[in-house]
Structure 1
Amino acid sequence: MTDTNQIHLVAYLVAKTAKEQALIDAVLAIVPAVREERGCIAYEPHLSLEHPGTVVMVEAWQDQAALDAHAAGASFTALAARFDELLAEPLRVETLRRLA
């Protein structure tokens, strides 16, 4: 049985030309702190093999409150403050409901 309160999501961060490494570095810099946040079950950055320059985040949170706290927290807001500099398009987030 799955916990229906858990929030799973995939986030896509598409780097501007010549900003891929800066984006990767910025994401990796916050990973340790985010993984310590209350309610963080998984916070896993990936680099897309099909879409160069795209960082794909796979995340799981205990509940919506934990995700909301993460979105308002220092680590994510510091990263988000650099989105205009680093991203070629707006952050895209897909939330998921786990089936099994």
Structure 2
Amino acid sequence: MIIARARARQGFEEQMITAQKTLVTLSREAPGCLSYELFVSVQDPGLVTFFERWESATAWRAHMQGDAIRAFRQTAGHCIGEFELDEMHQVA
């Protein structure tokens, strides 16, 4: 499971989320994608969290080097002020 959180730079919230919705649509079609979900904080509309499940670490790495991520970075990467990513494994 991948959990990624991004905070938009002030004034770029709508642009970032619009681009991320496109990223979700494209990522769900990627080989090895089991689920790819995007949530926006109720308290802080500039804060989003992705929950991703991939068949393997190899599939996730391919996604991170793929066209969908590359296109997002080119069109909206500048909208992100803060970003953190956690690669997790289920224990229970």
Fold match, TM over 0.5?
yes
Q: Which structure's residues are more often strand, by fraction? A: 2
Which structure has the bigger radius of gyration? 1
> How many residues are treated as equivalent by the alignment?
91
Normalised to the residue count of structure 2, the TM-score between the two structures is 0.90
Cα RMSD for the two superposed structures: 1.2
TM superposition score normalised by structure 1: 0.83
**Alignment of 1:16 onto 2:12:** no
Amino acid at match of 2:72: L
Q: Between the two proteins, what is the percent identity of the paired residues?
A: 27
How far apart, CA to CA, are the structure 1 residues paired with 2:41 and 2:3?
12
Query: 1 or 2, which has the higher helix percentage?
Result: 2
- What's the counterpart of residue 91 of structure 2? 99
Residue segments in structure 1 that go unaligned for 5+ positions in a row? 1-7
CA distance in 1: counterparts of 2:72 and 2:6, whole angstroms:
11
